[in-house]
Amino acid sequence: MNKAQKGFTLVEIAIVLVIIGLLLGGILKGQEMITQAKIKNVMADFSGISAAYHGYQDRYRAIPGDDPNAGTRWITAPAAVPGTGDGIVGGTYNAACPAVPAAGDRPAAAAMPGPPAPASPPPHRGAAWCG
């Protein structure tokens, strides 16, 4: 009376569990590597933005977004919005683009609304870009 055993042995179940654990560990490690790569790409993008900002400042002696000569310097469509040159970049990141005056029609800084220009430019506080 020999009965054939049915089912898996403890060793077979242990091997299957080890294989499943290795697969799950590999998947989780791969996801972590993808996340780290995305973080490095964002950091590289911010480094590029910083380099572009300082490059513009070195080349044109003005803060990007507050360049009083932007209307005459950039002859593209849409036309560049000149700044006041007071070191303050106003607006919000999602503000609608203001009406762009012609290159020679820009009012004097004293006629611009808002607070008077400070004696020395304050640090950069934000940017508005219309494009």
pLDDT on residue 104: 52
pLDDT above 70: percentage of residues in the chain: 69
Reported confidence tier of residue 97, pLDDT bands at 50, 70, 90 = low
C-alpha to C-alpha distance for 80 and 100, rounded to whole angstroms:
7
Q: Which residue has the higher pLDDT, 3 or 69?
A: 69
Helix (H, G, I), strand (E, B) or coil at 101: coil
pTM, two decimal places:
0.49
Nearest to 68 by CA among 108, 116, 119, 127: 108
User: 55-89 pLDDT, tens per residue?
Assistant: 999 999 999 888 899 888 888 877 788 888 888 88
Cβ 87 vs Cβ 118: under 8 Å: yes
| Residue (of 121, 130, 124, 122) closest to 53 by Cα position | 124
Residue 6 DSSP SS3: coil
Give CB contacts under 8 A, 24+ apart, made by 68-74. 68/106, 68/109, 71/100, 71/101, 71/102, 71/103, 71/106, 72/103
Q: What is the structure's pLDDT at 102?
A: 53
